[in-house]
Amino acid sequence: MATTTDRIAQLILSNGSDAIYHRDMASTPCPCRTPEGFRDPVWHLQHPLAPDCDASGMLPSGTVDFIVKAFIQPIQSTRATRLSTEQVEQLFGEVQADDHLGIFPVYWSGRELNFFKWGLATEDWIGYNGRKFQVVNANLLPAPEGDPKGHWETGLRLLGDL
C-alpha cells in the first residue's frame, strides 16, 4: 500500500509546478550527523535515497541546483487559505504582497530537499515562474503514518527576477 508520503509525491508529480531548488551546500551538515559530529550509517540505511556524507557527517560542498515539482501559491490566494492566520504569521511574520506558500516533497529524484538553515544572503533561492524567492521559514511536516519526513511547507518571499 502506498504511504501518504508516496501519495503526496504522486500528487505533486501530476499537479505540481516546476521550481528550481538552488542551494550553496558549503559545509552543510547531513541530517544523520550525530551530536558528537560523526556520520550515522544506520540513518543512511533507513534513508537509501539521501545523498551520502563524509565521516564527520558533512555533505559534499558545492552548489546544488535542480528542478523539482512543488505546489506554489500566492499566500493570499484561496488555495493557500487553508492555513490559519496563526500559521501564516508563524511562516511569514508580516505578510508581504508577493509572499507565496510552497509545498515541496522531501525527496525528489534521489535527492533530499532541506530548507533548514536557509541562507538569507541570497546564496540560496527557489526559482518559480521566472522569479527568485527566498525561504523565510520552513516546517518539515510528518506524514500521518508517523514518518517524520512527510513534506515541506515553506514561506517564500520574492527576491527579484531570475
Stretch of 52-60, 64-72, 95-103, 146-154 contacting Zn ion, by CB under 5 A: 52-60
Q: Which is nearer to Zn ion, 19 or 59 (CB)?
A: 59
Least separation in angstroms between residue 53's CB and Zn ion is: 3
Q: Which of 12, 53, 70, 126 is the binder for Zn ion (CB under 5 A)?
A: 53
**Cβ(15)–Cβ(7) under 8 Å?**
no
Cβ at position 30, least distance to Zn ion in Å: 3
CA dist., res. 45 & res. 117, Å (int): 24
Q: How far is the CB of 41 from Zn ion (least distance, A)?
A: 8
Residue 101 lies near Zn ion (rule: CB under 5 A): no
> Residue 150: how many CA atoms within 13 Å on its side-chain side?
16
As measured in angstroms, the least distance from the Cβ of 25 to Zn ion is 13
Q: Of the two residues 60 and 142, which places its CB atom closer to Zn ion in the complex?
A: 60
Q: Which is nearer to Zn ion, 36 or 161 (CB)?
A: 36
Nearer to Zn ion, 2 or 55 (CB): 55
Cα 31 to Cα 38: distance, rounded to the nearest angstrom: 11
- Please tell me the count of residues contacting Zn ion according to CB under 5 A: 3
Residues in region 11-30 near Zn ion by CB under 5 A: 30
The site for Zn ion (CB under 5 A) is made up of: 30, 32, 53
